[in-house]
Amino acid sequence: MPTYAYRCPQCGPFELVRPMAASDAAADCPRCSATSTRVFGAPALRALHPGVRAARERDERSAAGPDVVSALPSAGRRGGGVRRTTDPRHARLPRP
């Protein structure tokens, strides 16, 4: 069963383990029995693939401004930074 977060107007936040069918219903505070509303938070992203998590963290860090680089990125394992084509139509294209 999933865990849901609620906020009591008098005691503050608390969590309850409830069936999904009861997720929309208001809950009673375990301390003071006041009717409490459900709180929606960010999803738990801990279970993401490490590559996806790293990309999200990079995206969050660069949200205010991109990283400044001093050189072009390397081509990696693909062998060279220039793509070669064997299509004869590409030879007729204008070059910069």
**Digit-coded pLDDT (tens) for 14-56:** 999 999 888 888 899 999 999 998 998 777 666 778 888 888 8
Amino acid letter for position 51: G
Q: Residue 76: which pLDDT band, with cuts at 50, 70 and 90?
A: low
Q: What are the extents of the domains in the chain?
A: 1-62
Lowest mean pLDDT among 23-27, 45-49, 85-89, 92-96: 45-49
DSSP class per residue in 9-59: TTTEEEEEE--GGGSSS-EE-TTT--EEEEE------TTS-HHHHHHHHHH
Q: For residue 6, which of 52, 41, 49, 39 has the smallest C-alpha distance? A: 39
Question: Is residue 2 classed as helix, strand or coil in its secondary structure?
Answer: coil
In this structure, the chain runs to a length of 96
pTM recorded for the entire structure: 0.45
Question: Is residue 73 classed as helix, strand or coil in its secondary structure?
Answer: coil
